Chains A and B, each alone.
Chain A
């Protein structure tokens, strides 16, 4: 079990659908992250929120839209995705300190058809 909870675990969506991925943590972490991971590759950073403000956007296409409603929740809104967006989407959090490790959720396996 992890302390970062992601829902859903699996998601299949068509290219015209709109869906959202959700992430929740109650460790008091003020930095939250979205990563995309393709098979046999390391996680790729997408977005970072620090104290509920977007601090890093790694040139992610606008069909991915992050949201941080409060210090415990992080969402990733998906719209008009492409098949190449199929991947494992990982949420992570940590204390807002550079020597603090990331704590990862188990991810959402997304398939775009």
Chain B
């Protein structure tokens, strides 16, 4: 079975500070991993994805994530938070044959001016 765990339902950072949102996955087979962002009253927007190849993945809006197989992690980072980064962030995993993505419970990011 596959699942994701997002540690911290709510993270607050100051504007300009490092953003770190944590995601750990559980999968018995090689996973495909995704980060999504959701702004109020909108759908989910893909930030970045890991399928195969380079373990450091760059996404939109200055975000990046590193796939660490030994730690079963795929944490999302951004060097300097901006007010516009305030949103809900979801980590998701897919595996071959699942025909679906499994979402974590989400982390709400607040950016303090």
- Contact, CB under 8 Å: B42 / A98: no
Instruction: Provide the residues of chain B in CB contact with A4, threshold 8 Å.
Output: 43
Asked if B97 is at the interface of the complex by the 8 Å CB criterion, the answer is yes
For chain B, give the interface size range.
20 to 34
A96 to B97, CA, bound (A): 10
Instruction: Provide the residues of chain A in CB contact with B98, threshold 8 Å.
Output: 98
Asked if A42 is at the interface of the complex by the 8 Å CB criterion, the answer is yes
Asked if A7 is at the interface of the complex by the 8 Å CB criterion, the answer is no
Asked if A22 is at the interface of the complex by the 8 Å CB criterion, the answer is no
The interface bits of chain B over 5-38 (1 if a CB of A lies within 8 angstroms of the residue's CB, else 0) are 0000000000000000000000000001010100
- Given the known inter-chain contacts A42-B90, A48-B99, A56-B99, please indicate yes or no for A99 contacting B51, CB distance below 8 A: yes
- Contact, CB under 8 Å: B45 / A41: no
